[in-house]
Amino acid sequence: MQPDKAPQRAPSAPPIPPNSMGQTTSYLGPSLHIKGEISGNEDLKLDSKVEGLVSIGGFRLTVGPSAHLTADIVAREAVITGEVIGDVRACDRIEIMKSASIMGDLSTGKITIEEGAYFNGSVEVGSSTPQIGTDLDTLLDGGKRANKK
């Protein structure tokens, strides 16, 4: 007779190592569908479907290869390997990997677009990009004023 063992469950996602600042990265997996606003003050990796706004202030957003975002993005840096329909604002940098598809305008300090990536929109690169912080209303108001010029 074998002793009773509790069933072992596999983790839903592999653990994400701490970032360079010692913080862990939050993760939203492919089975999630989010409508509304995601905001926070930590790095975030998305492999989910998101409709709305993703604002993580001065932190890194990673859009994974299985992610489908119909959302505007505000972050310190954005690394995109999935699909984004919406504007992306990152004060430090935006990296668009070859598996990415983006339809929207980009505003950043630095940009990298790998050969093979799909991009349809405008790009604004330079030091005039406002500093990304946690005050989302200020950032959105600044973007609206810039669009009226």
Cα–Cα distance for residue pair 25/107, rounded to 1 Å: 24
Between residues 143 and 101, the one the model is more confident about: 101
Do 108 and 126 form a contact (C-beta atoms < 8 A)? no
pLDDT reported for residue 15: 46
Domain edges within the chain: 26-124
This prediction has a pTM of 0.73
CA distances from 6 to 10, 60, 69 (A): 13, 38, 38
The total of other beta-carbon atoms located within 10 Å of residue 51's CB is 14
Please say whether the beta carbons of 133 and 58 come within 8 A: yes
